[in-house]
Structure 1
Amino acid sequence: MRWIYLAAGIALYAKMLLLPHPAAATADFSAVAAVVQDSGIPNAVSGIIFRNRLYDTIFEVVVFTIAVTGVRFLLANEKPSSKIHQFSDHPSIVLARLGATIASLVSIELAIRGHLSPGGGFAAGVAGGTAIGLVAITSSSEWMQAVYQRWQAAVWEKVSVLVFIGLAVLTLLGLELPSGELGALLSGGVIPLLNILVALKVALGSWAVILIFIRYRGLL
């Protein structure tokens, strides 16, 4: 019986290697061009995330929100670390702060222009979270917590999620902003706003998680 399986496997590989593959009936159809035309932005990836599969993206944002809430819930009853060590040598502080500055500028660029070039809201949020993490490893946890509370970052995080879901639902219902001119900064309808909201949500959520882990686990 195994010889039959072996012969069938050899025949299958011979077919794939030797016989030509029939041309698809839609050989002239470009999925990327169709997405760009439909979304009105050059970045087809952002067009797919915030338009073609916007329903999935809504739940991705919700899942991230649940993950941040879960971290708060799981570590709420634990005892904070008695002593938290930060990088104290001057070269490490300078390099970390320089990296944080670059990461924050990249985050802003990706959030504002992510629909025109490679990038987008999720990448911008990760860059923003990286900047916050670099500052956190060289600053006192009390100062970071004070800044977090002073700017009411937790409130802005929740507001960004609610506004994102509201705009996404309106888009799914067919209520869209004008697409504008392809390649312009104000193009793609609501996609630039969704990019900024996702970037804000991911960056602020990462800030909350970083503060919680440093408080209860120290620097990992």
Structure 2
Amino acid sequence: MKWVYIAAGIALYVIFLITPNMSNLAPDLSDISIVEAVVEDSGVSNVVSGIIFRNRLYDTIFEVVVFTIAIMGVRFLLADEKPFCTVYQFTDQPSMILARLGATISALVGIELAIRGHLSPGGGFAAGVAGGTAIGLVAITSSTEWMQEIYKRWHASRWEKVSVLVFIVLAVITLAGIELPQGELGTLLSGGIIPLLNILVAVKVALGSWAAILVFVHYRGLL
């Protein structure tokens, strides 16, 4: 997969080279509300999502790539270490129940933030953090072998890579000027491609957090 990432990086660099300088083409916005302009331009009620996934989409692409590199770095740096013999986890029943209840709530919040992140405060990164929190709470109350088995059974590592690649492809298509219909402002099916980018980022961050948690538990014995 590393050659795919390298090819994607080269493609983005070529886009930078062939994209014309737009600084001299900026319109006069002195009499226009910036917030209203972003809402009208992106078609989403959450202005932050509009900025992240449209106005500053270049930055968001590299944020996703940097997070991917960070997860790969964790695996690489700890690969030569000796696995930890003792794994510290909650064993008392009240703590386990509370942790799993918190994991359920965090997972539901993550799904809601991913689906409705373009309408209300939230978005893909916040949804991914909520999902990672849910996985971490499950990890401190479950056996390491069970967590590893679930991770491999659902091919989480593969889906993580697929989400990154799909995100980059959709982002490049958007930057090229090809967009989906924005739909009706304030509805779930609005904002064009922004809701899809939100969900992809949420999947990427959650699965990447899962990979990091498993590595730290396996080699360090604690989160």
| Deviation at residue 86 of structure 1 after TM alignment | 1.1
Structure 2: state its 5+ residue gaps: 1-27
Out of 186, 194, 204, the position equivalent to 1:191 is: 194
TM-score, scaled relative to structure 1: 0.87
Residue 134 (str. 1) matches residue 152 (str. 2): no
Distance 1:27 1:55, change over 3 A: closer
1:21 equivalent in structure 2: none
Which deviations, in whole Å up to 9, do the C-alpha atoms of 1:92-117 show, x marking residues without a partner? 00000000000000000000000000
Aligned mates of 1:60, 1:43 — CA distance in 2: 20
> Per-residue displacement from partner, 1:40-84 (whole Å, max 9, x unpaired)?
000000000000000110000000000000000000010000121
Structure 1 unaligned regions, length at least 5: 1-24
Of 154, 158, 161, the residue aligned with 2:161 is 158
Aligned residue for 1:11?
none
CA shift in 2, pair 1:104/1:179, >3 Å: same
- 1:91 paired to 2:78: no
Alignment of 1:27-176 (within 5 A): 28-176=31-179
* 1: CA distance, partners of 2:140 / 2:216: 12
TM-score normalised by structure 2 residue count:
0.86
Q: Pick from 171, 182, 185: which aligns with 1:182?
A: 185
CA apart distance, 1:26: 6.3
Equivalents in 1 of 2:222, 2:162: separation in Å? Answer: 29
Distance in 2 (alpha carbons) for counterparts of 1:158 and 1:189: 23
Provide the rounded CA distance (Å) in 2 between the counterparts of 1:29 and 1:131: 42
Determine the C-alpha separation between the residues in 1 that align with 2:151 and 2:29. 53
Partner amino acid, structure 2, of 1:70: G
- Rg larger in structure: 1
Paired residue for 1:215, among 209, 213, 218? 218
SS in 2 for 1:79: coil
Q: What number of residue pairs does the alignment pair up?
A: 196
